[in-house]
Structure 1
C-alpha cells in the first residue's frame, strides 16, 4: 500500500525531466497518473503504466485556457477524480533586461505562470466538490531570491509561490491544500549542458556540495501530495542543498 494509493495525479509538462521523475515516484507510491505535454508521449505513458497503475498522456498547450479546460474535463471523466495537481510546465528564455524582448517575457510568463492559473482554475470545482486535494506549484530558488539575466523566469516563479499561498487561503476551508517547491541546482539534461567549470562553481556555493537529483524533488512532491502533509498549506519548500538559507 503506497502513500498515494487510490489517488489520481495530474502533472503538467511531465514527458521528461523533473515532471517525469515526479510522475514515476507518484506511480511507485500507487497513484494513477494523467500527464500533459505539447505532444502525447506514449513511451513515458508505458513506463509509468509498467509500475502497475493507470497512466495516460494528453497533448495540451498548458498556456492555452480553453485547451486546459478540455483536458481537465477529459482526465476527470476518464479517471473519476483529480486528487493532486502538479504545475510543472515551464520554459526559460534568459537575457538581461535591456536586451530582453517582449516575446521572451510573454512566452515565459504564459507557459510558467498562466498555465498554473489555467489548471488551478479548471480543477478547483472538482477539488471543492471532493472536499480534498493537493496543488503543488514547481517554483525555483530564483523565484525567492531573483537572478540576474532571468527576470522573466524569476518573476514567473515568484508568481507561482504567491499563487500557491493565495489558493491555500481561498480553498483551505474546503480541504484543498496548495504549496510550492523551489528547486535549486538540479542535475538534469538541461544542467548537464553546462561546462564542468560552471557546475563545480555552483557546487562550491552549496553547503551539501552537490547538485540535487530529480528524486530529491520527487520525494518532497510526494510528501506534499500525500496525507503526511495534511496540515501543510501555503508553504514554499526550498530543495537546494542549503544554497539559499
Structure 2
C-alpha cells in the first residue's frame, strides 16, 4: 500500500526498529509473550521473549529482540503517559507489496495539519470485530481527529483524565473503530504527494459497562508520536 517514499532519506525508517507495532503499515498490533512482561520503571526496560506478526492476508512471524519504553512512560496509575514503545526486531523485516515502512514526521512539517480536527487518518489491525472475535484478516478503518474539548465533553467522566497534551482523540462514535487487540497500532495520514506519516499510536478507549471489551461508540485516545521524536531519534541511533 505504501509505495511512495518519504520526503528525505532521514525519514525512511530502518527495517529493524518498529515504533510499537506500527512502523509497518500491515504489522500486527499484538505481541505474543513467551515470558511474563516485566517492566522496570527505574530503567524503563521491558524484559520479554516474544514474536510479532506482519503481513497482509497471511502472517509472517518476526522474532523480537527488545522492546524499549520511553523514560516518561507510566502505566494506569499515571494515566498511560507516553504510551508507546520501540520494538527492535531480531532481524530486518523483508519488505514487500504488503509490508512497507511508514514515514516519521521528523521535522513536524505535517503534524499540525494532519492532527487538525476533522483530518482523516487510517488505523489497521487484527483486533476484535463487530462479533467480538479477533479478525482473521487485516482490517482498516478511517478515523477523524476530534477536537480535545469535544472529546472531553463527550467521553465518560472517569475517562476524561486520559485526554492531555501528549494525546489526541479520533473516531466516529458510530460503532466503527479500533478495539481490543488493536492497542499499539498506528494512525497514519496521507499527504497530497502520496506519502503516509505515522502521527498516532492507539492507546486506550472506554470499555462497555460490565465488560473488558471496547465500546466503539466512544472516541479512542492516541499517543502523539511527534511529542516523542527526540527520544525516538536518540534510541534509533543506538540500535
Compute the TM-score of the two structures, normalised by the length of structure 1: 0.29
The structure with the greater share of residues assigned to helix is 1
The structure with the greater share of residues assigned to strand is 2
Compute the TM-score of the two structures, normalised by the length of structure 2: 0.30
